[in-house]
Amino acid sequence: MCRSIKVLRQSGQPATDEEIHAAALQFVRKISGMRQPSRANQASFDHAVKEIAQSSSHLLEAVGRTAPRRPPAAETPAGAG
């Protein structure tokens, strides 16, 4: 799992378009193995980011934001999780 992708489904705090895009970008970078694609691959890379961001937005809308907020790993009590 990409550790830099944060949980976007938090109670009372809808994810912004920027947060969703950033998570999609990190996901595409991880699965493609490319931090920055070549010019030849740029359009495919950008298209993948856009599709994943849209799918993520649809998912967040569909499941709602009723789950309690999970603290970041640094705030998780020892022995929990």
* Amino acid (1-letter code) at residue 53: A
For 3-55, write each residue's pLDDT tens digit: 667 777 776 778 899 999 999 999 999 999 999 999 999 999 999 999 999 99
Calculate the dihedral angle through the C-alpha atoms of 21, 26, 32, 37, rounding to the nearest 10 degrees.
70
Locus of tokens 């990190």: 26
pTM (2 decimals)? 0.70
CA gap 76, 61 in Å, rounded: 27
Phi-psi region of 79 (alpha: psi -120 to 50; beta: other; left: phi over 0): left
